[in-house]
Chain A
Amino acid sequence: MRLTIDHTTRYLYEQPQRRITQSLRLTPAQLKSQKILSWDISSDGAQIGARFVDGAGDVVLLLTKGTNVESVEIRVQGVVDTTDTAGVLTGLKESIPPLAYLRDTPLTAPSEALRALAADVGAGGHDGALSLAHALAGATRDRVDYVIGATEAGVPAAQVLDLGQGVCQDHAHVLISIARLSGLPARYVTGYLHSDASGEAHEASHAWAELFVEGLGWVGFDPANRCCPDDRYVRIGSGLDALHAAPVRGMSFGAGSETMEYSLTVSLGQSQQ
């Protein structure tokens, strides 16, 4: 499937800022499931540099802009040919050992309820890690309804499970937490999702989880949509949780509040421009 992505994010500042610094994890890797035909990240008036590839195989860039900054706009445009690999991640050059993805972060720290959920799923009896991983993803969705607006960004998995409602970020955090409790390395993945009319409600700027299955490697699970990522998905980057995987992690120096607006289209076929 050929997907064209046009994604603009705009940060507006109530008062001019002395300096803006943002770490950008916005570049998809070449994978068996996705061939990047073109990809461009631009920002008027800001410097984009300090490029490196991290141990998870993600290209990371740094955006800096000073002085008297009233707004920052980042535009991402790209064309990707996708292939369905049933969620199995193949072709990523990464070097972080899977064991490092068993650690907790504040967003994925276990609670009694998360432990109980992991234990419940584990008690079901599973034929290997892959079947366990599917069961964990299913249980996550059973316990957390898809409700837009029930949670803000950055709610810990424990709280999400108590609430029983959330969006893709929340589903991913709950799944990551119970996967780690079950001994499966797990991580947070960001990306884009092409929405077709028949699909369940979902966001075009999307997030899911990857679980490490011995013998198979990393496998994606999208609990929000009860499926594994297929050719509607473009994978951007990963991390221990939403904070570490964030496409844009930034900081501004100056007074006043910040508002963010964005426009995103993930469309079929070649770009119209």
Chain B
Amino acid sequence: MSTKPVFFNEMYDGDAIRPAYAKVTKWFDDLGAETLALKKAEAEALFRRIGITFAVYGEGGSTERLIPFDLMPRVFTRSEWDRLERGVKQRSRALNAFLWDVYHRGEIVRSGRIPAELVYRNEAYEPAVVGINPALNIYSHIVGTDLVRTGPDEFYVLEDNCRTPSGVSYMLENREIMMRMCPELFRSARIAPVDSYPDLLRRTLHEVAPAKCEGEPTAVILTPGAFNSAYYEHSFLADQMGIDLVEGRDLFVDGDFVHMRTTRGPQRVDVIYRRIDDAFLDPLCFRPDSMLGVPGLMNVYRSGGVQICSAPGAGVADDKAIYTYVPDMVRFYLGEEPILKNVPTWRCGEADSFKYVMDHLPELVVKEVHGSGGYGMLVGPASTKAQIAEFAELIKKNPSNYIAQPTLALSTSPTFVDSGLAPRHVDLRPFCLVGKEVRLTPGGLTRVAMKEGSLVVNSSQGGGVKDTWIVAD
């Protein structure tokens, strides 16, 4: 006998509409079917014109596609958000403390709280930056925390993204579109603005300029180029911040510093917000065949002549096996109890866990430790016996490459489908900025699984996006 999981519906409490959704629901009701259809078509056209057709970075999609935009926003009340905000900021502080620690004395390892092997044998642990001090000891300047909700006050962190989390351009563009679609709502409902994000990001980048920087820091965004799936976001952010978007070939190292080629001659660069992976940053330090990076960049970084955001080596904190220890990091470094919960996780590399996972595959979600974007994963309840058996063989071959989690009862948010509004599962990625202060824009990227019953929200697997509103209680 199987029990159907009960999903938390963010809009309805029984038959009653929850306060968060009251205003927006009434507005859409008053609109009438015909006007609504027009609005939807208009929103779609806007999205196409803007050209947000990229797949979220790291999610592999090589062909450009339009990610469905849902006109119905996802809404939190201010008090719900305040708790989330405290939790996300707390986690970002702990992750940065962890990164500084494991590249220095490794106190958390010495104390026995995290196995040394897991950290130091981790592929994402970068020996080349051991002992290096990034500005303000910050490694991850933009932390994207993926959250799901399972109840009125229950939130779980699915994963942390400490390297180059993408999707923030959606947060900004979704809002832009919503403000054009329903200006009346923005006048009457008190919806927290998100448009300060580019300014806060720019401020964060300036705050982490190296000590050698003289005067106003020069920050740039380093992109792998126009063929990258997130190129739109790179150019969008550069434009919004009023800073230069550069490729590796636009930069060069001379003496102690990095310079940018400009029409007015070389200009020194102090901070590089890089949207390329560690392995490609500098052929003299990492992959020698990389044509995307800047030769000597890592030497300048390590000698204190430039700051790289996020700092090389930051990936060791968002590894899926390390993830299970983040609550311990919060306690160890901050002396606080974690505000946000982790999803219970079995590490298949451990004998007991391996046995449990193999016995319970139909009810679990299994992920590759280094995988991302909904590839290389098994969603037990949604898989056939044959698919499960096939995946079991993969796990047996290399158990420590996998972790397993229970299938979470992801909350639903009302979403426009052919038949009208219907509940669809959602997650949330807010973008936390870490500089002299830790800052969180009230909002984020809500991803929605457009297929009925689907729990996979990744854009590469047919997920869509929504605007995320924080409204006054």
Contact = CB atoms under 8 A, between A and B. Distances in A.
Interface stretch (A34-42, A54-62, A213-221): A54-62
Contacts of A99: 116-117, 120-121
Given A21-B253, A97-B116, A51 B303 contact: yes
Contact of B255 (A22, A47, A60, A103): A47
Interface string B147-181: 00000000000000000000000000000000000
B299 A60 contact: yes
Interface in A30-77: 47, 49-56, 60-62, 64, 66
B115 to A, nearest CB: 10
B125 A62 contact: no
Interface residues of B, number: 33
B305 A50 contact: yes
Contact of A97 (B106, B128, B254, B304): B106
B302 A54 contact: yes
B299 A62 contact: yes
B121 A102 contact: yes
A23 B284 contact: yes
Interface string B100-128: 00011010010000001100110101011
Nearest to B257: A50
Contacts of A51: 303
A69 to B, nearest CB: 13
Contact of A60 (B106, B256, B302, B305): B302
Most chain A CB neighbours (cut-off 10 Å) among B117, B296, B299: B299
A100 B254 contact: no
Interface in B293-311: 295-296, 299-300, 302-305
A116 interface: no
Nearest to A95: B131
A240 interface: yes
A50 B121 contact: no
A179 to B, nearest CB: 15
Nearest to B285: A23
Contacts of B103: 55
Contact of B128 (A49, A54, A102, A103): A54
A145 to B, nearest CB: 29
A96 B127 contact: yes
A21 B127 contact: no
Interface in B123-152: 123, 125, 127-132
Given A54-B131, A99-B116, A64 B284 contact: no
Contacts of B299: 23, 50, 52, 60-62
A240 B127 contact: yes
Interface in B272-300: 283-285, 288, 295-296, 299-300
Interface stretch (A84-92, A161-169, A194-202, A243-251): A243-251
B391 interface: no
Contacts of B128: 54-55
Given A21-B296, A95-B130, A66 B284 contact: no
A19 interface: yes
Most chain B CB neighbours (cut-off 10 Å) among A60, A97, A103: A97
B288 A243 contact: yes
A64 B120 contact: no
B282 to A, nearest CB: 9
Contacts of B252: 19, 21, 66
Contacts of A240: 127
A181 to B, nearest CB: 14
A52 B302 contact: yes
A242 to B, nearest CB: 12
Nearest to B104: A95
B321 to A, nearest CB: 15
B122 to A, nearest CB: 9
B121 A103 contact: yes
A25 to B, nearest CB: 11
A52 B303 contact: yes
A66 B266 CA distance: 13
Interface in A87-144: 95-97, 99-100, 102-103
Contacts of A95: 104, 130-131
Contacts of B129: 55
A94 B305 CA distance: 22
A51 B299 CA distance: 8
Given A55-B127, A100-B120, 4 more contacts: A51-B303, A62-B299, A97-B109, A97-B116
20 contacts: A21-B252, A21-B284, A47-B255, A50-B296, A50-B303, A53-B131, A55-B103, A55-B127, A55-B128, A55-B129, A56-B127, A95-B104, A95-B130, A95-B131, A99-B116, A99-B117, A100-B130, A102-B121, A249-B288, A251-B283
Give 8 closest A-B pairs by Cβ, nearest first.
A55-B130, A99-B120, A21-B295, A62-B299, A50-B303, A251-B295, A52-B303, A21-B296
